[in-house]
A and B are shown apart, each in its own frame.
Chain A
Amino acid sequence: MNAHSPPRALHAALTLWLAATAQCANRDVQERLYAPADASRDAALFAVSIHQPRWLEAISTGHTDALGRVVEVRCETCHSTQQFALPTSATTLGGPHAGMRFEHGSNQCASCHDPARFDRLRMATGESIPMTDAMRLCAQCHGPQARDYEHGAHGGMSGHWDLRRGGRTRNHCVDCHDSHAPRFPQFSPAPPPRDLPTHPHPRGSHG
């Protein structure tokens, strides 16, 4: 019997296979599989900016102009020229602030607002700060959240994770939390998954 002995055939096959693999791993392909050295490595970092919601400086009048745009009025329009008495509760507020809901612990208006200048805020230390610096004020009580925010672990964002290649925009506290009722509101989610493409009324669930 003069057949190929199996080990020899196996060896031949292995050799062929190795040759084929080696050919595949030619330099061009190897180079293509990795990105070229990163030229931007030592480049200056792009900025992380915090989004500035308009309602920190202005309030909607509830009216729209001829083009359909919401007419806003800046805080100082009223609060720099007139003096108002500090209300006892949010429900007593009238005018542009009527109907405000207040659900923020046992805080009083003056806990955050500067009684001297209503277009400004007042820190616990008594320091008066502009509305746009609201995050400093929030951080006084919400330490863990502020710490997480500082480290990128709280609050939505968009842009780049790699600041060498682009900037990042982060949400402000009040982008997501109404400062007068900061609990995240309930809303309807996007539709549930459709799991059974072949069936008209898909329903993948526990019964």
Chain B
Amino acid sequence: MSRDNKTAHHLTYPRFLLSAFWRASEGSWVFYTWMTALTAIALVGAHAWALQLANGMAVTAMTDHVSWGLYIANFTFLVGLAAGGVMMVVPAYLYDDHDMHDVVIIGELLAVAALVMALLFVVVDLGRPDRFWHMLPGIGRFHWPISMLSWDVIVLNGYLLLNLHVCGYLIYTRYLGKKPDPRWYRPFVFLSIAWAFSIHTVTAFLYAGLGGRPFWNSALLAPRFLASAFVTGPAFIVLVLQIVRRTTRFTVPEGAIQRLLSILRVTVLVNLFMVASEIFTIFYSGGAHAAAGRYLFLGLHGHAELVPWIWTAISFNVLAAIVIHTPALYRDRRVLNAALILTFVGVWIEKGMGLIVPGFVPSTLHEIVPYAPSKAEWQVCAGVWAFGLMIFTVIMKVGLQAMTGEMRAPSAESDAHTINNDDHAEEAR
């Protein structure tokens, strides 16, 4: 800390930001193409959202029967993705997995990007986003602790701040060429582990607490959310780690990938087990409470709009589970990666069209009003994802370059400390 006190942060921090901006906008033609494409998609989404604001949410396919749709489905999924990043943090900090420790910042950066997307999906779902200030404690009327949504606002923003702090602190100290002071980030990391579980638990409680929606009103919902979050998080990160390996100087130890895959082997099965439990309860007991489940899995009263979705999701997840448990298959990285994409998409469907929509169909008066997202909804959805991926790309670029030592303050002491990635960076030069 003594050395920290000597640093004139009011001078170095702006320089750090400037340097970060410069580096974030430097790259190969692949990078520029990628960012340009994302920008274009994000602009299409922004335009669709502006039109939705001007003309009303009638441009979506939502109705008073299915009053939440694609937006809230994506929100739920992304909260899971953000929480899934913790599957890197737990081995790195609780079990001192050194390989994982080297790459753990990627999980935290993913949490930041996923949370930004999740919060954006809430904003685009609001009928009156202009009245956001009504939620601010003090000047608005924040209905805490009664409303589960108020809890969600707290835990999501809290988790975003925690991860921004941890990542920001680590990146900045690396930029300064200093060894991070554990007192400034370790407590926050441990807090963030518990917090990661809370964000997805609270999000599940949002639905599970509604007695009028039997499909959601299940104690299994929160555990199921966590299980599927711990499928998507590791699957996405394994894919990202391979991209990082190819496109940056950052060293990705194979141990980290293997650890994530072994976590995934368990969570994929746990998730499938929980889906099977739900299916058993629905079909063995039957009755009115099973109507939504019937509609989802088999179709009801001649309506079967969600049946293809859910069976696609289940077959994707089963296929992925088979691949990652069969050495002959997963040893081929292309097959493995295909399986990771399958399970990622599988959970996305399962949590969206497979979980949010059947909560509303049949409606509380047992009417079947089907829902399929409108063009405007798909556009906004793609826009938010594109914007989130832009954020993720940029913070990964800056973060990893600080970690490797490519981005350093002019005053940085080059011998401050050495870790794997610094060594790697030195070699690369």
Contact = CB atoms under 8 A, between A and B. Distances in A.
Is A in direct contact with B (CB under 8 Å) within the complex?
Answer: yes
What 6 A-B pairs have minimum CB-CB distances, sorted nearest first?
A207-B302, A204-B369, A206-B301, A207-B301, A197-B58, A204-B367
B385 to A, nearest CB: 23
Contacts of B137: 13, 17
B326 interface: no
A196 B63 CA distance: 6
Nearest to A6: B191
Contacts of B60: 198
11 contacts: A1-B1, A1-B184, A13-B137, A20-B139, A195-B64, A195-B65, A196-B63, A196-B369, A198-B58, A204-B63, A207-B302
A16 B63 contact: no
B3 interface: no
Given A195-B63, A195-B369, 15 more contacts: A1-B1, A1-B184, A13-B137, A16-B138, A17-B137, A20-B139, A195-B65, A196-B63, A196-B369, A198-B59, A198-B60, A198-B61, A204-B65, A206-B301, A207-B301
Contact of B138 (A17, A197, A204, A206): A17
Contacts of A196: 63, 369
B282 interface: no
Contacts of B184: 1
A24 B61 CA distance: 40
Nearest to B181: A1
A205 B368 contact: yes
A206 B302 CA distance: 8
B63 A207 contact: no
Majority SS at the chain B contact face = loop
Nearest to A203: B369
Interface in A7-60: 13, 16-17, 20
Contacts of A207: 301-303, 368
A204 B361 CA distance: 11
B364 interface: no
B374 interface: yes
A198 B374 contact: yes
Contacts of B183: 1
Interface of A: 1, 13, 16-17, 20, 195-198, 204-207
A161 to B, nearest CB: 27
Contacts of A197: 58, 63
B367 A206 contact: yes
Contacts of A16: 138
Pick from A1, A17, A20, A198 the residue with the most CB of B within 10 Å: A198
Interface string B174-198: 0000000001100000000000000
Contacts of A205: 367-368
Interface of B: 1, 58-61, 63-65, 137-139, 183-184, 301-303, 367-369, 374
A77 to B, nearest CB: 54
Contacts of A206: 301-302, 367-368
Contacts of A1: 1, 183-184
A148 B186 CA distance: 74
A90 B404 CA distance: 104
A205 B369 CA distance: 7
Contacts of B302: 206-207
Nearest to B368: A206
Contacts of B65: 195, 204
A145 to B, nearest CB: 30
A207 B369 CA distance: 10
Q: Which of B60, B137, B183, B184 has the most CB of A within 10 A?
A: B137
B273 to A, nearest CB: 33
Nearest to B374: A198
A195 B362 CA distance: 14
A199 B375 CA distance: 13
B391 to A, nearest CB: 28
A16 B301 CA distance: 55
A90 B41 CA distance: 79
A17 B141 CA distance: 10
Nearest to B191: A6
Nearest to A24: B141
A17 B367 CA distance: 43
A196 to B, nearest CB: 6
Contacts of B58: 197-198
B162 to A, nearest CB: 12
Contacts of A13: 137
Contact of B368 (A17, A20, A198, A204): A204
B52 to A, nearest CB: 12
A204 B369 CA distance: 5
Contacts of B59: 198
Contacts of B1: 1
A195 B369 CA distance: 8
**Most chain-B CB neighbours within 10 Å: which of A16, A17, A197, A206?**
A206
Contacts of A20: 138-139
Contacts of A198: 58-61, 63, 374
Contacts of B138: 16-17, 20
Pick from A20, A195, A204, A205 the residue with the most CB of B within 10 Å: A204
A55 to B, nearest CB: 40
Nearest to B60: A198
A207 B303 CA distance: 7
A150 B374 CA distance: 55
Nearest to B362: A206
A20 B369 CA distance: 44
